[in-house]
Each structure stands twice: as structure tokens, then as C-alpha cells.
């Protein structure tokens, strides 16, 4: 089974005393990522669907970057909550990719994105016992095929098809029944807390700490005071930085990805946000040390 991503990425980091902060391997950023000085970021996250079998200049860039930085994989199309059979041949290709690049973490979304074909969106699952059993069984199957634990990510959603329980109860039930890990998206917690009127701090407090192995943080769009849209196309908001600090206090300074998918600013702006992640991680570690030595 997989090594813990936190220890694996920290061992590979250029500054072993720091927790890690990463960026998504986006083709629009390839030149900046390739030319970045050592220490600007610690790891790269890739969507395996976008890179398996890629040759040419992009394939060469992937191989070059993978020699310098550890990779994390975050899937887009597995549709863990869907009704069609899991794409086992694709998962077998993912396993080869993970092994080839020594990837310590493979994560996917706690959602579905296909019916007769791909829907090109991450759609929410009903929060029901039936859905818990359904998705947990599919996560266990996926783990068996890829030969390692899977981390599932809490997603943003704007309407739920059925809510016999709240999101926190549903998430915990899936994690326990599937015996898998959690990729905690802190921005999604905040967005959902506003849109669905719950306390984001209570959500964090209710998660099982030993399940969280990595985190995401991103920007969102303020449609109104009561509606937030998860975009990955803007700077991280102060309220989300604050929630990330609270997440570190509860779960430790886990490796954290800064998600940015479009509206890319100058690369130094992204580096500044990565440094904010590192500063919050440092503060969380220092606070834990003070408690230990008190």
C-alpha cells in the first residue's frame, strides 16, 4: 500500500523542515514551472487523464519536471459515485503511471461525472445510506485495482438531490466504510458552508483527523453574500486562509495544493500565495511544538 504522502513529499522537499506547498501541472504554466528556481514550490499535482500516454514536447516536460519534483495525482473522470461500471482498464493505466513516477497519492472526487457519457462536471451525490454503500464499494474496488489507498475530495455543490443526512455525516460514513483517506478542500468547505448555511469550523471539527492526508486551497467568486462559486480562477480569500490555518491546527500541516486553473496571474503572485501556505504551516507546527513542550 502507498506511503503516506506527507512523509514522502517532505522527504523530497528542498527544505525538509518545512511542510509542502504545491501547484497543479497546467500546460499554461509549463514554462514557468520548468524555469522556476528550486524552492518556489515543492510538488506538482497532475490529472492522470491529461498526461497518461502523452509524448512529444509535453511528455518530455512532464518527465523533466518529475525528475525534479515529486508528483501527486488528482483524477477528474473516475466518477466514483456513478452507476456505470468503473473503468478498470483506465485504473490499470493509472496504476502503471503511479508506479512509473513513484506517486505517493492518488485522489479523486466524492461525486460523479458520467452517465451514458462524460458530463464534464462534478455532480453531487445524494446524502443517503444507499449512496454511502454504493460509493464506498466503488472506492474499495478502485483501491484494489490501483494497489494503494485512495483519497477522496469533498466537492463544492449547489443543490443536493437528496439529503437524509448532512454532508459531514455522509463524508465520514463513506471514509469509514471504504476505509480510504480524505483530500480536504478547504475552499470547498467554506463555499458549501455559505451556500448551505452550516458552520465551517464545526465541519472541520467533525472530520476524523487520521483520514486527512493532503489539502487543497483555492479562490472563489462572490456572487452574493449567500452564494459563493468555486472557480479556481482567483486569489485565495482571507476568510479561506483563516480556515486553512484552523485546518492545520486540527489536522497538522498537511501537504497543500494551491489550485489555479485559469486567469493565471504573474508566476510570482502564485509563489507569494505558496509562501502564505508555508507561513501558515510554520505557525501551525510552532504552535504544536509549544503544546508538546508546555
CATH fold of 5-292: TIM Barrel (3.20.20)
Higher pLDDT, 225 or 8: 225
Using the CB atoms, write b or e for 238-253: b if 16+ within 10 Å. Answer: eebbebbbbbbeebeb
Residue 10: pLDDT above 50? no
Residue 293: pLDDT above 70? yes
Please tell me the predicted confidence (pLDDT) of residue 92. 98
pLDDT of 130-179, one tens digit each?
A: 999 999 999 999 999 999 999 999 999 998 889 999 999 999 999 999 99
pLDDT of 257-272, one tens digit each?
A: 999 999 999 999 999 9
Please tell me the predicted confidence (pLDDT) of residue 15. 31
Instruction: Please state the rounded mean pLDDT for residues 2-30.
Output: 62
Instruction: Please state the rounded mean pLDDT for residues 209-220.
Output: 97
Global pTM reads 0.91
Residues 97, 108: Cα–Cα separation, whole Å? 15
Could you tell me the pLDDT band of residue 282, with boundaries at 50, 70 and 90?
very high
Residue 11: pLDDT above 70? no
pLDDT of 185-208, one tens digit each?
A: 999 999 999 999 999 999 999 999
Please tell me the predicted confidence (pLDDT) of residue 116. 54
Domain spans of the chain, in order of start: 5-292
Higher pLDDT, 37 or 15: 37
Cell of 53: 500516454
Please tell me the predicted confidence (pLDDT) of residue 9. 45
pLDDT of 88-123, one tens digit each?
A: 999 999 999 999 999 999 999 999 775 554 444 678
**Residues contacting 105, CB < 8 A, separation 6+:** 2, 5, 8, 72, 73, 151, 183, 213, 214
| Weakest mean pLDDT among 16-25, 120-129, 223-232 | 16-25
Residue pointed to by grid coordinates 483555492: 218
Could you tell me the pLDDT band of residue 77, with boundaries at 50, 70 and 90?
confident
Phi, psi at residue 13, to the nearest 5°?
A: -65, 150
Amino acid at each position: 500500500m502507498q506511503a503516506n504522502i506527507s512523509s514522502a513529499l517532505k522527504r523530497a522537499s528542498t527544505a525538509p523542515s518545512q511542510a509542502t506547498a504545491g501547484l497543479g501541472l497546467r500546460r499554461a504554466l509549463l514554462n514557468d514551472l520548468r524555469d522556476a528556481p528550486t524552492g518556489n514550490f515543492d510538488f506538482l499535482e497532475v490529472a492522470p487523464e491529461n498526461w497518461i500516454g502523452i509524448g512529444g514536447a509535453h511528455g518530455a516536460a512532464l518527465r523533466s519536471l518529475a525528475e525534479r519534483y515529486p508528483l501527486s495525482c488528482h483524477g477528474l473522470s473516475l466518477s466514483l459515485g456513478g452507476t456505470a461500471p468503473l473503468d478498470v482498464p483506465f485504473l490499470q493505466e493509472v496504476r502503471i503511471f503511479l508506479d512509473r513516477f513513484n506517486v505517493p497519492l492518488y485522489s479523486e472526487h466524492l461525486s460523479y461525472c458520467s452517465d451514458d457519457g462524460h458530463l464534464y462536471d462534478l455532480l453531487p451525490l445524494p446524502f443517503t445510506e444507499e449512496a454511502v454503500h454504493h460509493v464506498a464499494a466503488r472506492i474499495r474496488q478502485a483501491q484494489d485495482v490501483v494497489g494503494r489507498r485512495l483519497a477522496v475530495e469533498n466537492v463544492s455543490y449547489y443543490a443536493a438531490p437528496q439529503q437524509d443526512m448532512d454532508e459531514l455525516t455522509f463524508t465520514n460514513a463513506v471514509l469509514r466504510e471504504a476505509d480510504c483517506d480524505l483530500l480536504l478542500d478547504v475552499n470547498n468547505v467554506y463555499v458549501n458552508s455559505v451556500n448551505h448555511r452550516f458552520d465551517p469550523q464545526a465541519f472541520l471539527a467533525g472530520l476524523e483527523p487520521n483520514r486527512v492526508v493532503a489539502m487543497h486551497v483555492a479562490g472563489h467568486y462572490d456572487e452574493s453574500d449567500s452564494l459563493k462559486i468555486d472557480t479556481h480562477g482567483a486569489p485565495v480569500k482571507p476568510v479561506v486562509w483563516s480556515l486553512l490555518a484552523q485546518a492545520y491546527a486540527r489536522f497538522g500541516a498537511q501537504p497543500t495544493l494551491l489550485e489555479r486553473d485559469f486567469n493565471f496571474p504573474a508566476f510570482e503572485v502564485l509563489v507569494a500565495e505558496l509562501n502564505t501556505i508555508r507561513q501558515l504551516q510554520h505557525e501551525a507546527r510552532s504552535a504544536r511544538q509549544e503544546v508538546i513542550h508546555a
